[in-house]
């Protein structure tokens, strides 16, 4: 990354090309595994495909994101593992990427050598795969669930994207946040299993609706947790409150993911299972990412903050990281806030846009759920499997 950024970013395009190639290979494997799961697991237990996916994704995310960030942090390592402080963490980015790369290759090679599959004469060309995707998108039921996916996560966006940032902004340390996320992991694994069982016992989309309501409630609780941040710093009771709030939010998020994945596995046509499931999962992921840009913009728009010059500015200006602040200006944006702090100013927030945006998101979530999402998914849940089959649509 340092090489790519050198010489005014001259190596960015080659760096981007390599990452595109890696993501392309990972996405290809993801499609293959999705299709493989439909043939490995019997139809009565097909919801457990989503449980396996949840446990695998959670474990991988935990190891490559949560664990890495925690052990790469010098402060976290010094606080919990060292008697003598150091300016480096237990892990480094280059070392962890090297380990992950070799582990990935080893697992792939093991599957290639040890797994034997029955040969089939059915081989679809690339164009046939894209024709299948277009045919899937023309199905009215698929169009309905795509709309649901694109709007369903708006109600939780402010909580998912901003709550942790607000905790850090108020004084919650990175070490405590890392500890909070670390404690989430065993609950995610256990709840993923039980969510898979619930999706087998009860209709998957009914479970999804219950978790949807719970996730809206989790967004409201998270805002309350931010609002009661102690003025005298983080206390044990507050840390436990944040952990409990995170676990509840994780619980609802995991149940929603497992139940919708179980529904995808149930309705996907086994003949094109990998393509079908990946298409639906891609739209679901898109519904969780594209609103985030607008949510962050709304937070900035509703935020009212002013940078005030220091009452007693330092005499030695060389100690400042920026120009001395001599007149008030808006510091609602993060760049403006950093400029204010670098110039010995004080950024005073008169109105925090996070609270307004989160309330708006939850209200939008409630209205869309009651007016469209719940009636739509209940209707889709009752449809027979042939209503989702591409062959039936073509024959008609």
- Residue 394, pLDDT > 50, answer no
Neighbours of 358 (CB within 10 A): 28
Strands (E), 209-345: 304-308, 329-330
Percentages of the chain per state (helix, strand, coil), in multiples of 5: 75, 5, 20
Q: Specify whether the CB–CB gap between 330 and 307 falls below 8 A.
A: yes
| pLDDT value at residue 50 | 62
Report the alpha-carbon distance of residue 389 to residue 2 in Å, rounded.
49
Round to whole Å and give the CA distance between 268 and 281.
11
Write down the pLDDT at residue 393: 42
Q: Mean pLDDT for the chain?
A: 82
Q: Note the Cα 387 to chain centre separation in Å.
A: 31
pLDDT in tens, 247-303: 999 889 888 888 888 888 788 776 675 677 778 888 888 888 888 889 989 998 999
Residue percentage of the chain with pLDDT more than 70 = 85
Reply yes or no on whether the pLDDT at 396 is more than 60. Answer: no
SS (H, E, C) 156-189: HHHHHHHHHHHHHHHCCCHHHHHHHHHHHHHHHH
Say which residues have a Cβ less than 8 Å from residue 104's Cβ, sequence separation at least 6: none
Which helix (H) or strand (E) segment holds residue 349: the answer is: strand 346-351
């Amino acid at each position: 990354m340092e090489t790519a950024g050198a010489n005014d970013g001259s190596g960015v395009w080659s760096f981007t090309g390599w990452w595109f190639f890696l993501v392309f290979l990972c996405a290809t494997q993801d499609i293959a595994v999705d299709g493989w799961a439909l043939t490995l697991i019997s139809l009565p237990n097909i919801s457990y495909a989503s449980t396996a996916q949840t446990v695998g994704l959670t474990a991988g995310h935990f190891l490559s994101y949560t664990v890495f960030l925690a052990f790469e942090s010098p402060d976290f390592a010094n606080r919990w593992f060292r008697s003598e402080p150091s300016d480096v963490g237990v892990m480094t980015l280059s070392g962890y990427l090297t380990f992950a790369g070799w582990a990935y290759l080893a697992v792939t090679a093991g599957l290639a050598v040890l797994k034997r599959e029955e040969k089939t004469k059915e081989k679809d060309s690339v164009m046939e795969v894209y024709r299948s995707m277009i045919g899937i998108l023309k199905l009215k039921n698929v169009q309905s669930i795509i709309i649901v996916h694109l709007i369903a996560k708006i109600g939780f966006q402010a909580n998912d994207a901003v709550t942790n940032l607000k905790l850090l902004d108020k004084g919650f340390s990175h070490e405590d946040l890392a500890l909070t996320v670390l404690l989430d992991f065993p609950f995610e694994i256990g709840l993923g299993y039980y969510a898979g069982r619930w999706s087998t016992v009860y209709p998957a989309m009914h479970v999804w609706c219950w978790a949807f309501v719970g996730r809206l409630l989790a967004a409201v609780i998270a805002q309350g947790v931010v609002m009661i941040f102690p003025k005298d710093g983080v206390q044990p009771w507050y840390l436990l409150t944040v952990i409990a709030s995170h676990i509840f939010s994780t619980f609802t998020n995991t149940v929603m993911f497992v139940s919708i994945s179980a529904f995808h596995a149930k309705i996907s046509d086994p003949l094109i299972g990998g393509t079908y499931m990946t298409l639906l999962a891609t739209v679901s992921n898109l519904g969780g990412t594209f609103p985030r840009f607008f949510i962050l913009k709304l937070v900035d728009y509703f935020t009212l903050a002013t940078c005030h010059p220091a009452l007693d500015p330092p005499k030695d200006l060389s100690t400042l990281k920026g120009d001395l602040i001599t007149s008030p200006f808006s510091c609602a944006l993060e760049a403006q806030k950093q400029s204010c702090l670098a110039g010995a100013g004080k950024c005073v927030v008169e109105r925090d846009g996070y609270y307004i945006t989160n309330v708006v998101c939850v209200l939008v979530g409630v209205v869309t759920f009651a007016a469209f999402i719940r009636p739509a998914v209940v209707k889709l849940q009752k449809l027979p499997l042939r209503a989702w089959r591409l062959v039936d649509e073509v024959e008609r």
